[in-house]
A = this chain, B = another copy of it.
Amino acid sequence: MLYLNEKDINKCISLNEIMNEIEKAYKIYEENKFHMPDRIHVDHKNKTILYMPCFLEDTFGTKVLTVFPENREKSKPVIDGLMLLNDYDTGETVSILDGKTLTALRTGAVGGTGIRYTTPKDVKVVGLVGAGVQGFNQLRFACEARDIEKIIIFDLFKEKLPAYIGELKTEIPGVEMVSAETTEELLKESEIIITTTTANEPVFPNKKDLFEGKHFIGIGSYKPYMREYPDALISVLNKVYIDTEFAKEETGDLSQPIEKGLLKDSQIETFGDYLLNERNKEEIVKGTTWFKSVGMALFDIVVAQLIYEKAKEKGIGQRVEA
């Protein structure tokens, strides 16, 4: 059995390879060649365990994550856990991958793939709202997907930004990085805006003209009571692209406007459909675009399987005698 920790995973695979793999996952999604039960939540005293199983045609596995919000104060990762990868025929666990690294990378890659197809090729400025682990990875992938020259960051806890920007500069050298005083300022100056907050209320003012012509990548808001975007965004959009149909129920960014009748079903399209079928994408990305992700176990299993294959090929990882 092969154990792959954070270092191993990063040695195995490039950011672009992960984005390519996410595109393959969308193909599997659209062709319905998978079996993915609903994400399972187990809660106890502010501790959450998530079980995310998914079966493909030749492999299956479960991502088991712990979500411990109080870890923030302990300088421990809020999201931790393992990805278990199993042999399709016998059920044996063939590999265990660090779950927080897989989650960070595949979620970053989902955002990056969104950027690849819902923004113009020549965008230069990206804004990030929410300076956490996930935002960090979103920016890494954004800079792979486009030639970004400037990054603007907003966070409620402004005091942590200098250190955060310092780390980012090591990871993504040669890009100008500044902090913004308000999200309105960030909106005005950015072409792509990525949101990775745990907000329950929209993080932007509800002003229509602020949103026009911008490109949004929504990563936070993964529960019906959570929201990052105000109604104003919807009023200037043609369509919102979602990673999975389940997003309509799972994120308040969609479920709330749907309930209020502000967002129609015809305005919602799966990203896989958009990606794989004929669309005038060059024309579409000239307008305002919104890609909204809630994630799914299918992304994990597809990316984990590739990492495992590459690790075997390259002799990376720790062999454990099962």
Any B CB within 8 A of the CB of A40: yes
What separation, in Å, do the CA atoms of A93 and B91 have in the docked complex? 21
Any B CB within 8 A of the CB of A47: yes
- CB neighbours of A82 from chain B (8 A): 84, 93, 96
Any B CB within 8 A of the CB of A53: yes
Are A84 and B64 CB-contacts (below 8 A) given A5-B321, A35-B44, A321-B318? yes
Any B CB within 8 A of the CB of A231: no
**Interface 9-residue window, one of A73-81, A170-178, A306-314:** A73-81
Closest chain-B Cβ to A61's Cβ sits at a distance in Å of 9
Are A51 and B47 CB-contacts (below 8 A) given A64-B84, A82-B84, A320-B3? no
Any B CB within 8 A of the CB of A322: yes
B68 contacts A44, C-beta separation under 8 Å: no
Any B CB within 8 A of the CB of A86: yes
Point out residues on A near B: beta carbons under 8 Å.
3, 5, 35, 37, 40, 42, 44-45, 47, 49, 51, 53, 55, 60, 62, 64, 66-68, 71, 74, 76, 80-82, 84, 86, 89-93, 96, 98, 318, 320-322
Listed A/B pairs (13) with beta-carbon separation below 8 Å: A5-B322, A35-B45, A44-B60, A45-B55, A49-B53, A62-B64, A68-B90, A71-B90, A74-B90, A76-B92, A81-B91, A81-B93, A96-B96
